[in-house]
């Protein structure tokens, strides 16, 4: 039985390959071939239905005896030939009295129109299927640059587009690999002199000088780490895993509390948040950046974890100075900082919110910033569960 199924599948595969070889290569050729086949099929089908559903209604008078009138060859008075019999008129044929078109004509038009509509639908599905696969692959490429290349199938135009798309993916992967090497080299080259400076500072006799130099070195180290983490996160292809988002948020909040920041999680009102698939390190870095931003400028925050039809939401609310309305979109750009944060005590590098926004988009979601009534900032991270699951199933 198994051998019979294997042979059947092999025959089907061979037949499919033979049909593919017989098909025209270009998009125009395939469309013309399909329309020609449809016209031929509709013509045969219409004629068949007309003969089956519309038989000749002329009665066979010869079956009931000889036709009335003089015998064949007889001449009328005067030796003239008999006039030909009048043509038979079908009383049901509306063409003879100006009525509506006959049923046969309507049936022929209906069959041909239906066949053309069916062919148009089949052609649209058949010829656009490679384009749909290409569009889906292009959408997935932003989330998984290391996905398998697309098979080059379909018409000549689709195969050329797929080949160019696969080449573009290879170029992007090569560029990301070069970026990884660059980040690793820069990280080593910059941290080595900082380490030497930190060791030399420890040998200073003046305590105030040691403190000032140590603060400058720590600030430089923070800026270098944030920049390299941002670049590394943009090029990193982290695997997708199933994680407990509530446990992740509680862990990050506990870290903030241990650092002396007033960060709390508001009790949830609905059912517990079900586990979802995400890039664990990236999502942890995203939420941590939001909490760090609130702790730096407001000293604390309230964290709210909810879920609705749009997806899972992590909302961080603080009572800090907020952000001017004209700069709410700009602070999500890399290295942008509002003027009030440009000091060595509270000012950051300008990459925390930008990195969080990139990670949100990487998960198919978004990061929305808004000012609260009474002062403060609200940062809402939304991750759509359905879109996330659809992407990860392709990985």
pLDDT in tens, 277-326: 888 888 998 999 999 999 988 889 999 999 888 889 999 999 998 898 88
Are the CB atoms for 38 and 46 separated by under 8 Å?
A: no
> How much is the average pLDDT of 38-42?
75
pLDDT-based confidence at 387, cuts 50/70/90?
Answer: very low
Q: Are 233 and 282 in contact (CB under 8 A)?
A: yes
CB 303 within 8 A of CB 291: yes
Instruction: Output 187 or 246, whichever has higher pLDDT.
Output: 246
pLDDT at 235 over 80: no
Q: What's the per-residue H, E or C state across 310-338? A: CEEEEEEECCCCCCCHHHCCHHHCCCCCC
Q: How many helices (H) and strands (E) does the chain have?
A: 9, 7
- 21: confidence class by pLDDT, cuts 50, 70, 90: low
SS3 content of the chain, % helix, strand, coil (to 5): 60, 10, 30
Residue 175's nearest CA partner among 154, 145, 196 is 145
Question: Among the listed ranges 24-38, 77-91, 191-205, 273-287, which one has the minimum average pLDDT value?
Answer: 77-91
What tokens appear for 195 in the block? 């380490």
Tokens of 6: 């294997």
Domains and CATH numbers, the chain: 2-54+98-141 (no CATH), 238-395 (3.30.565.10)
Identify the residue whose tokens are 């943009």. Answer: 234
Q: What is the mean pLDDT of residues 85-101?
A: 51
84-108: string of b/e by CB count within 10 Å (b at 16+)?
eeeeeeeeeeeeeeeeeebebeeeb
Q: Looking at residue 237, what is its pLDDT?
A: 58
In the prediction, which pLDDT does 141 show?
77
Select the highest-mean-pLDDT range: 111-115, 138-142, 366-370.
366-370
Whether 157 has a pLDDT exceeding 60, the answer reads: yes
Residues 161 and 26: their CA atoms lie apart, in Å, by 13
Taking a C-beta distance cutoff of 8 angstroms, is the pair 291, 316 a contact?
A: yes
Q: DSSP labels for 4-59?
A: HHHHHHHHHHHHHHHHHHHS-SSHHHHHHHHHHHHHHHHHHHHHHHHHHHS-----
What is this structure's pTM? 0.53
At residue 282's C-alpha, the angle toward residues 322 and 243, to 5°, is 110
Measured distance CA(152)–CA(163) in Å, rounded: 7
Q: Which range (32-41, 173-182, 291-300) has the least confidence? A: 32-41
């Amino acid at each position: 039985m198994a051998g019979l199924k294997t042979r059947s599948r092999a025959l089907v595969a061979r037949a499919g390959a033979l049909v593919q070889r017989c098909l025209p290569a270009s998009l125009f050729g395939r469309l013309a071939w399909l329309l020609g086949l449809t016209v031929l099929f509709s013509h045969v089908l219409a004629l068949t239905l007309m003969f089956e559903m519309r038989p000749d209604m002329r009665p066979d008078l010869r079956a009931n005896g000889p036709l009335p009138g003089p015998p064949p060859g007889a001449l009328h008075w005067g030796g003239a030939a008999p006039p030909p019999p009048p043509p038979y008129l079908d009383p049901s044929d509306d063409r003879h009295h100006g009525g509506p078109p006959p049923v046969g004509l309507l049936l022929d038009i209906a069959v041909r129109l239906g066949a053309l509509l069916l062919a148009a639908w089949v052609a649209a599905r058949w010829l656009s299927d490679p384009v749909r696969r290409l569009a889906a692959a292009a959408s997935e490429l932003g989330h998984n640059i290391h996905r398998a290349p697309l098979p080059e199938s379909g018409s000549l135009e689709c195969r050329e587009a797929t080949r160019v798309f696969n080449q573009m993916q290879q170029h992007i992967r090569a560029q990301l690999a070069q970026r990884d090497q660059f980040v690793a080299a820069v990280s080593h080259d910059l941290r080595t002199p900082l380490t030497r400076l930190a060791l030399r500072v420890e040998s200073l006799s003046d305590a105030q000088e040691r403190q000032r130099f140590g603060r400058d070195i720590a600030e430089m180290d923070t800026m270098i780490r944030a920049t390299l983490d941002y670049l590394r996160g943009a090029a990193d292809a982290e695997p997708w895993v199933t994680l407990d988002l509530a446990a992740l948020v509680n862990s990050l909040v506990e870290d903030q509390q241990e650092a002396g920041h007033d960060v709390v999680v508001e009790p949830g009102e609905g059912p517990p948040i079900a586990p979802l698939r995400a890039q664990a390190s990236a999502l942890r870095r995203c939420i941590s950046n939001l909490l760090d931003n609130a702790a730096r400028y407001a000293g604390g925050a309230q964290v709210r974890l909810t879920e609705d039809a749009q997806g899972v939401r992590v909302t961080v609310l603080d009572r800090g100075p907020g952000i001017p309305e004209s700069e709410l979109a700009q602070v999500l750009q890399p290295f942008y900082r509002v003027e009030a944060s440009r000091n060595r005590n509270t000012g950051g590098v300008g990459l925390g919110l930008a990195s969080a926004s990139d990670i949100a988009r990487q998960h198919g979601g978004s990061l929305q910033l808004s000012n609260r009534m009474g002062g403060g900032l609200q940062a809402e991270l939304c991750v759509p569960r359905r879109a996330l699951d659809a992407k990860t199933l392709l990985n």
